[in-house]
Structure formats: C-alpha cells, structure tokens
Amino acid sequence: MDGNTGIGRPEFKNHERQKLARGRRGIDESAPGDRPGDRSRIREPRAFRDVVAMPGSVVTVQLGQCGNQVGAELFDTLSAEIDAHPPRDRAGIRRAFFREPHRDEHDDDVSGASTSYMAPVARAVLIDMEPKVVQASLRRAKKTGRWRYDGDRTLAFQSGSGNNWARGYHTYGDAVRHDVLDLVAKEAEACDHMGGFVLMQSMAGGTGAGLGAYVADALRDEYPTSTLMNHCVWPYESGEVIVQAYNTLLTLSSLLDSSDGIAIVQNEELHQVSLFFIFVWAISMTSCFVHRRA
C-alpha cells in the first residue's frame, strides 16, 4: 500500500522493474548478433581482414643443430600436409613459407633437370658453427623431392661454440653480423609481402642460445617494425650440458628485450608425450613425425 494515497500497486523486484522498463523503451534483450541486421554491422578487425586477404611471408632463421633439425621438420610437415587444406588456402600457405626457384638459380649438388631443383624453396636461412648439420638439412630436403633449401642461404664455420653462451653471443655474433643480415635481407627481398621472422633455436647450447640471442637483437635493430617470433627448445632437467641453466637464463633475458613472442617447447614434456600418448619408445625427430602423420 502507498502510505500517501492508500492505492495499492504491485511490488516488483529489481530485475523485474528493469525488464519492464526495457520493454517500455523498446529494448530488445536478445543476444548481440541475433537481432535482424546485426550480422551486417559486425565487422572483422581490420588487421584480421588484411591477414586473411594477403598473408605475409615468413622468413625462418634456423640456428644451431637443434634449430636446423626442428626447422627441417617444420618445412617437411608443411610440404606434406599443405594439400590437405582447401584449395583456396593452399596458395596462401605455400606463398607464406615457400617461394618459387629463380630461373638463374643454380645448385652444385642438383642439376637443373632434377625434380627437386624445380621444387618450392623454403624461405629460410640456415646458420650453424659446424657445417655437418647444415649440409645434412640440405640433403634431406632435396631427397624429399617436394621442397628444398636454397644452398646460397647458409652460413657455417668449422668450429663450434662449445656450449659457451658468451662465445656464441659476443665472439661469433660480432663476427657474423654482416653476413647474417645480408642473407636475411636477400630472403626478405624475395617476399612480395613481408610478414615477419621466426627464429628456431635451442636454449642450452652456445650457437642456438648465444648466437641466436644476438641474431634476434640484430634483426630487431635492422627491422624495428617487423614481427619477430622465437621458437625455443627448453633443455632436459638433467641434460648433458652442465651450463645449460645459465645459457637458458641468459637467452630468455636477452629475448625478452627483442622478441615479440617466445614459444617455448620443453624437451621433458615432449618426452612424456611421446612415451605415454603416442607410444613411441625409440624417440627421435623422424619417428615422432612419422607416427603423427600415420
């Protein structure tokens, strides 16, 4: 009852009053996007539309033994599974990670008549202080016949970094800076639309960790507006490198200042997944990837 007029009026709870008020004002309580005309007004962010319309090419920089092995598996997997995507997406994916070989491009190991010579070329730069890993990656890619590396986009020396982060960063970094940036620039110039860089490296050794951190800093200085991502392999808890904890800490500290994003893969976790989820007991790069494709 109203104390002033004595006229009875219904009592509403708060949420009922709000609902009644919305109804009087003509407010539709249906979910956004369900009302007529909403879907025409909801637009994708411009950045997303640009990426879908014109995906940028990615230049991969593979550093050290681990980075070169992981990078080879990445391109091998991409070349094998690219046909599983819808036809409208295949050209964009292939253009993002591979380029067509130049007519004047030559290779010392493969003749022009070879099918692997005409295969797409990975947008990658291979770097290691020891040549055996780089040469093994080149031979493995050619053997597939589906893709290959450019032999002119490699840099290798005869002596390693000895798992010494400071030697990789300070000694080899200053020595190879010009050569590395020159190789990366040539690969970047081959892109119609440059999307960014992906660095593949380990965090335990000297080349992948030390030199990898230096290359990330150099790329950030040379390409300040480009996206820079780092794919890093975290070492085993009890690894064979006695200074791996220091190398890992120094690498992370450096990458935090230069990288736009760091994707960390833990060796310990990958080992557990291989044993208990895909049941691969003799663990190697090839066995895990072959099992996954099957």
pLDDT digits (tens, 9 = 90+) for 139-184: 999 999 999 999 999 999 877 778 889 999 999 999 999 999 999 9
Q: The tokens of 276 are what?
A: 């208990």
Confirm whether pTM is higher than 0.85.
no
Q: What is the per-residue pLDDT for 4?
A: 47
Alpha helices (H) in 105-222, listed in sequence order: 131-144, 165-166, 173-189, 212-222
Residue 176 burial by Cβ neighbours in a 10 Å radius (0-12, 13-18, 19+): buried
Count H helices, E strands: the chain? Answer: 12, 8
| 156: phi then psi, degrees, rounded to nearest 5 | -145, 150
Contact 197, 62 (CB under 8 A): no
Confidence of residue 84 (pLDDT cuts 50, 70, 90): confident
Q: What is the per-residue pLDDT for 236?
A: 85
Q: The tokens of 157 are what?
A: 């020396």
Locate the domains of the chain by residue range.
62-268
- Residues with Cβ within 8 Å of 64's Cβ and at least 6 positions away in sequence, in order, are 127, 128, 129, 133, 201, 202, 205, 206, 207, 208, 209, 211, 212
Q: Which CATH number fits domain 62-268: 3.40.50.300, 3.40.50.2300, 3.40.50.1440, 3.40.50.450?
A: 3.40.50.1440
Q: What is the mean pLDDT of the chain?
A: 79
| 148: phi then psi, degrees, rounded to nearest 5 | -160, 165
Mean per-residue pLDDT, 95-102? 89
Mean per-residue pLDDT, 105-125? 66
Confidence of residue 287 (pLDDT cuts 50, 70, 90): low
Contact 116, 110 (CB under 8 A): yes
Residue in the structure block whose two tokens are 């890993």: 133
Q: What is the per-residue pLDDT for 157?
A: 85
Between residues 114 and 220, which one has the greater pLDDT? Answer: 220
* H/E element, 157: none
Crossing angle for the helix pair 285-293 and 64-81, to the nearest 10 degrees: 20
Mean per-residue pLDDT, 213-228? 96
| Polymer length in residues for the chain | 294
Closest CA to 241 of 264, 267, 275: 267
Sign of CA dihedral 39, 40, 44, 45: negative
